[in-house]
Structure 1
Amino acid sequence: MDEPSHFITICSDSLGDTAEAVVQAVLHQFENQRVTIKRYGNVRHEDELRKLLEEAAKHNGFVAYTLVQPELRETIREEAVRLDLRIVDIMGPMMQAFIDTFNDEPRQRPGLLHQLDENYFRRIEAIEFTVASDDGRDLGAMLKADIVLLGMSRTSKTPLGIFLAHRGKKVVNYPIVPEISPPGQLFKLPPQRMIGLTMEPEHMLKIRSERLKVLGLPVGSQYASLERIKEEIHYAEALFERLGCPVIDITDKAIEETAGIIMGYI
């Protein structure tokens, strides 16, 4: 019989992305946890807040919240006591640290992270640039890119590029194939602007074999042969050495982890 699902309520006067990201990060530290997450965003009125808290109290879980408006923060504390409901303030301690350390006061306006400011439009521009430059479609874009990702097929270049673009970085990814000479643009770039991606051969074999199954193609093709994969990796790593660029082994690494390493290089 399945264990009963735990219940977590997320409450925000903006979108709730921040609170959910923290909850998900913590959740991954626990095994075999069946958790139902209910998210309420754009909560701007006290009556609305009271109603969702009463609903949350029925499930014997807790509420994670990001509320910046003082009246809502006061209401959630009062209602938590009344309902005997556990609440977790995601942003409050950080805001208090800013106040205490820098003697500054918060603007207390929800949604500032997602406002249409200069950073927002820079991210949109980066995403459009990255999509247009995917898989080496625009070699000239390499000279305009913040990051050039290099790697053989199935080294997560495209999703990694999109992830970085959402952080405002213009990314070009270029597939490394032994039969195709690398473009001259690569040798004009500063080495630190390029990132070589590699992977353990056996792990690559598994990924490519699964890819062929999805496409309905024979698993025994050269694309998914260990000998071919080792040849590609050897060629790619030799090219990375010629270019002098950083190299990341992405075996068993999540996109977020690899992106964090890349951001440390540039």
Structure 2
Amino acid sequence: MVQKEVVYVVSDSVGETAELVVKAVATQFNGGQVEIRRNSYVEDIEDIEDVIILARKDHSIIAYTIVIPELKDYLDKRAMEEGIMAVDLLNPLMNAFATRFNKQPHRQPGLMRKLDEEYFRKIEAIEFAVKYDDGRDPRGIMKADIVLIGVSRTSKTPLSMYLAHKRFKVANVPLVPEVPPPDELFKIPRKNCIGLIISPDKLNEIRTERLKALGLGSKANYASFQRILDELDYAEKIMKRVGCPIINVSNKAIEETAGLILDVLKKERSL
């Protein structure tokens, strides 16, 4: 049985990046028959000394991703003293970035994992917004960071998605006179809910265009002025009952309204 060569992967974070690089290189040599021994979260010279002793014993390579200057310098110094080949996988490229872009790196371990976690939180929020869109499952109201309520065509869905990209879990509930609002709406803290209103003229314009896009007549009850007034009056009564802040979305871009929502919630939750 052929004994595998050993490569020590050393990192002041998880060490996944270094391990992936070592595996990629190893595949170019005899099908990647190397043993990778990962040493994660090294935070002092004693941790590095432990690896130096092992690497010297196994006559192996150290591949590392260390961004803390003191630890990197110590590992380089000790590896040279012991005749161990130590390969820095980050700093050459980091130095190139610093030179080319005239900026200095943060030199904080774990930043990439932090970015990954932010990404997955955003994906989770987007999936939440899709699942609890348009009041399809009232259970989402109790789980949401933000609940948007309003009549049809007050931008509830696009606002939910926009806020989801900022990692907020958003549920939205349409207010329709013929459909009682879910009980959950009256059980959440008022600071978690935002009511969206719009001027009757603007809503009439939006709904008329919507009907045209669907190939329907503009005189349908959906776009009639009286129907709109009835819906807005009903929605206002529900919003007052909930006791939530109210934002007028007339002639506002999604980004502008979202900014107002976050400002209002920040103010409400700081009280």
For residue 56 of structure 1, what is the aligned residue in structure 2? none
For residue 34 of structure 2, what is the aligned residue in structure 1? none
Q: What amino acid maps onto 1:72 in structure 2?
A: R
TM-score by length of 2: 0.58
State, as a whole percentage, how many aligned pairs show the same letter. Answer: 52
SS at match of 1:195: strand
For residue 100 of structure 2, what is the aligned residue in structure 1? 72
The number of aligned residues is 168
Shift of 1:226: 0.9
Q: Unaligned stretches of 5+ in structure 1?
A: 1-67, 75-91, 93-104
Q: Unaligned stretches of 5+ in structure 2?
A: 1-95, 266-271
Q: What amino acid maps onto 1:183 in structure 2?
A: P
1:136–1:174 CA contact under 8 A, matched in 2: yes
Q: What amino acid maps onto 1:176 in structure 2?
A: L
SS at match of 2:194: strand
For residue 59 of structure 1, what is the aligned residue in structure 2? none
CA–CA separation in structure 1 for the residues paired with 2:192 and 2:148: 9
Shift of 1:114: 10
Is residue 261 from structure 1 mapped to residue 260 from structure 2 by the alignment?
Answer: yes
1:69–1:108 CA contact under 8 A, matched in 2: no
> Which structure has the larger Rg?
2
Deviations 1:65-105 (A, max 9, x none): xxx9222235xxxxxxxxxxxxxxxxx7xxxxxxxxxxxx6
Q: What amino acid maps onto 1:132 in structure 2?
A: K
CA–CA separation in structure 2 for the residues paired with 1:201 and 1:254: 17
For residue 139 of structure 2, what is the aligned residue in structure 1? 140
Deviations 1:111-147 (A, max 9, x none): x799752211111111101101111111111100001
2:98–2:105 CA contact under 8 A, matched in 1: no
SS at match of 1:117: helix
Deviations 1:16-55 (A, max 9, x none): xxxxxxxxxxxxxxxxxxxxxxxxxxxxxxxxxxxxxxxx
SS at match of 2:216: coil
Shift of 1:163: 0.3
CA–CA separation in structure 2 for the residues paired with 1:217 and 1:115: 49
1:114–1:120 CA contact under 8 A, matched in 2: no
Q: Tell me the C-alpha RMSD between the 2 structures.
A: 2.1
For residue 160 of structure 1, what is the aligned residue in structure 2? 159
Q: What amino acid maps onto 1:254 in structure 2?
A: A
For residue 123 of structure 1, what is the aligned residue in structure 2? 122
For residue 202 of structure 1, what is the aligned residue in structure 2? 201
For residue 223 of structure 1, what is the aligned residue in structure 2? 222
TM-score by length of 1: 0.60
Shift of 1:252: 0.7
For residue 9 of structure 1, what is the aligned residue in structure 2? none
Shift of 1:108: 7.8
